[in-house]
Amino acid sequence: MRIATWNVNSVNARLPTVLAWVEAASPDVLCLQELKCVDEKFPREPFESLGYNVETHGQKTYNGVALLSKLPVSDLRRGLPGDPSDEQARYIEAVIEGARPVRVASIYLPNGNPIGTEKFAYKLAWFERLQRHAAELLALEEALLLCGDYNVIPEPEDARNPKAWTDDALFQPESRAAWRALKFQGFTDAHEAGNEPDGTYTFWDYQAGAWQRDHGIRIDHVLMSAQAADRFVGIETHRDARDMEKPSDHVPVVVEIAD
- Distance of alpha carbon 88 from alpha carbon 149, whole angstroms: 15
Cβ atoms of residues 249 and 216 within 8 Å: no
The per-type count for the chain, helices as H runs and strands as E runs, is 6, 14
Question: Which residue type occupies 36?
Answer: K
Task: Identify which of 33, 41, 29 has the alpha carbon closest to the alpha carbon of residue 249.
Answer: 33
Helices 118-138, 173-183: inter-axial angle, 10-degree rounding: 10
Cβ atoms of residues 235 and 196 within 8 Å: yes
Residue 42 DSSP code? S
Which alpha helices (H) appear in the chain, and where do they start and end?
15-25, 44-49, 118-138, 173-183, 190-193, 226-229
Known catalytic residue at 149: yes
Known catalytic residue at 108: yes
Residue 213 DSSP code? T
Catalytic residue among 28, 52, 91, 108: 108
Q: Which residues pair with 32 in a beta bridge?
A: 6, 66
What is the dihedral sign for C-alpha 28, 81, 231, 8? Answer: positive
Catalytic residue among 28, 149, 168, 249: 149
Q: Which residues are catalytic?
A: 108, 149
